[in-house]
Structure 1
């Protein structure tokens, strides 16, 4: 349908509320009831809105009040989280709920990533006929849906967004993985920093880290849209020799062996916290590879630094879902854009 600005605002209310009456819509939008009614009828007719229930009048009598909700099956969004040789694909309905998740392991490097993504997405397009877009969270520097550089996936200056959009005939959003991850945590909070750790296969290479920023209730991607990645070698390597993740169990390594990583990570995290002053800090990604003792030591070191700078009441969390968080966050970033950007919603709905 040709969505109007008022209809877009009504649709947002339907999505954000479990049930709502037209009178309540009128109050929320500060428009008269006849304007709401005129704009609401096409949404109901086209299947965006559904009758939820009817509420009987009070003891003073009168008409029943009809409550409405969004049709959760009116459209779907696919979110993809990816790292070396592994993908998670999640399906979100119109209300923003996850209705399906799949995991796939496959070797891929460079620009062949596009074909791998398409092969994952197409079966879901057939299963969920009302897919309106796909959103991808991946490691690297991303700007305007173009992968500027991703050392993890061996990609440089590749317009992945345009390639996927052309071949899938869908709207596409490409995000840095840390930016995608922070969206999932940020939707219920005002200010969040999400540190995403990436442990290399060869443990004599430096541990990677990205930072997703959720500021004042929205994703911050910088002036050019390329925020999310720290400079390489920000964190140290875990070992001096070329042992691999297959050969070393990080969970059983002593705190003494990992002390340099804990110290440097607490330094980096505290510096960002001083600048941003978030309510919540999350460590995710390959944090799952380390023991609970490692996490407690990191948390203690970080809190100690913050106390010395009189930074109080920072919630510190550890995210064990890793790539699943990235996939859901990517999808919810697309979903949130539908709610907040009228021109974007008008184009795809």
Structure 2
């Protein structure tokens, strides 16, 4: 394997380890090695790099197994690494939330946008961004991205159709990225709800949901569908 392939493989393995850390309430290097079928030395090397970047939170020693042996050092993704700002652009409301990468809400607000144009709503969103973009809110890196829930059809990060606002002359992504200097992602609000339930809802350990439907009932009915993960 040449050096370029080695770098590509290491980057791939690092992403897998980050994903394993993010999805686990708590885990250990040994458990990650088992889950990902990677050699322990590979996991240890990646762990050291991620720990230096403060991606990892140390939870202390785990419990001893029935067979005894050394207690594992429990770790998880650093929930306070950064946060995202999320918007819900409804018919009569603009909801905003600051959310840690763990899904924990730091702050939330709701503004009435009744009889406002999409440009006026966008200006309100810009103000929320300006008020928070330089604040870290107890995290290491501060604002890392913006997510916007659209009541309508979204394709390639642009609004194709919405029954509530005319987006034809407005590029929401471009406007918010210009103000915030972070990546902005637009998605249908029901699809966003489905992803949130899949990734953050605290299911009982015995429950497994490979497929789900998230229904949002308001001035219309939206459905976000996830099939087999």
| TM-score band w.r.t. shorter chain | 0.7 to 0.9
Question: Residues 91 and 216 of structure 1: is their aligned pair in 2 closer, same or farther, counting only changes over 3 Å?
Answer: same
TM-score by length of structure 1 reads 0.53
Larger-gyration structure (1/2): 1
Question: Residues 162 and 23 of structure 1: is their aligned pair in 2 closer, same or farther, counting only changes over 3 Å?
Answer: same
Partner Cα distance (1:59, 1:181) in 2: 40
Q: Which runs of 5 or more structure 2 residues have no equivalent in the other structure?
A: 1-9, 202-208
Correspondence 1:110 to 2:118: yes
Can you list the C-alpha shifts for 1:149-195, whole angstroms capped at 9, x where unaligned?
A: 32312322532112211221111111122222333344463333344
Question: Residues 197 and 67 of structure 1: is their aligned pair in 2 closer, same or farther, counting only changes over 3 Å?
Answer: closer
The equivalent residue for 1:23 is 30
Partner Cα distance (2:63, 2:161) in 1: 60
The equivalent residue for 1:124 is 132
The equivalent residue for 2:57 is 50
Question: Residues 60 and 74 of structure 1: is their aligned pair in 2 closer, same or farther, counting only changes over 3 Å?
Answer: same
Question: Residues 37 and 109 of structure 1: is their aligned pair in 2 closer, same or farther, counting only changes over 3 Å?
Answer: same
The equivalent residue for 1:176 is 188
Report the secondary structure of 1:52's partner residue.
Answer: strand
Question: Residues 151 and 58 of structure 1: is their aligned pair in 2 closer, same or farther, counting only changes over 3 Å?
Answer: closer
Partner Cα distance (1:157, 1:170) in 2: 22
Q: Which runs of 5 or more structure 1 residues have no equivalent in the other structure?
A: 200-207, 218-349
Question: Residues 51 and 154 of structure 1: is their aligned pair in 2 closer, same or farther, counting only changes over 3 Å?
Answer: same
CA deviation after TM superposition for structure 1 residue 11, in Å: 1.5
Question: Residues 60 and 195 of structure 1: is their aligned pair in 2 closer, same or farther, counting only changes over 3 Å?
Answer: closer
Correspondence 1:153 to 2:151: no
Q: Does the aligned pair in 2 maintain the 1:109–1:155 contact within 8 Å?
A: no
Correspondence 1:84 to 2:91: yes
Q: Does the aligned pair in 2 maintain the 1:146–1:159 contact within 8 Å?
A: yes
Question: Residues 151 and 45 of structure 1: is their aligned pair in 2 closer, same or farther, counting only changes over 3 Å?
Answer: same
CA deviation after TM superposition for structure 1 residue 33, in Å: 0.6
**Pairwise CA RMSD:** 2.6
The equivalent residue for 1:136 is 148
Report the secondary structure of 1:127's partner residue.
Answer: coil
CA deviation after TM superposition for structure 1 residue 55, in Å: 3.9
Pairing 1:1-349 to 2, within 5 Å after superposition: 4-55=11-62, 63-107=70-114, 108-128=116-136, 129-156=141-168, 158-187=170-199, 189-199=209-219, 208-217=220-229
Q: Does the aligned pair in 2 maintain the 1:78–1:134 contact within 8 Å?
A: yes
Question: Residues 117 and 40 of structure 1: is their aligned pair in 2 closer, same or farther, counting only changes over 3 Å?
Answer: same
CA deviation after TM superposition for structure 1 residue 104, in Å: 2.2
Partner Cα distance (2:73, 2:32) in 1: 12
Partner Cα distance (1:190, 1:134) in 2: 27
Q: Which has the higher helix share?
A: 1
Q: Does the aligned pair in 1 maintain the 2:135–2:142 contact within 8 Å?
A: no
Partner Cα distance (2:210, 2:133) in 1: 34
| Structure possessing the higher relative contact order (Cα contacts under 8 Å, 6 or more residues apart) | 1
Question: Residues 135 and 60 of structure 1: is their aligned pair in 2 closer, same or farther, counting only changes over 3 Å?
Answer: closer
| Count of aligned residue pairs for this structure pair | 207
TM-score by length of structure 2 reads 0.78
Question: Residues 59 and 86 of structure 1: is their aligned pair in 2 closer, same or farther, counting only changes over 3 Å?
Answer: closer
Report the secondary structure of 2:125's partner residue.
Answer: helix
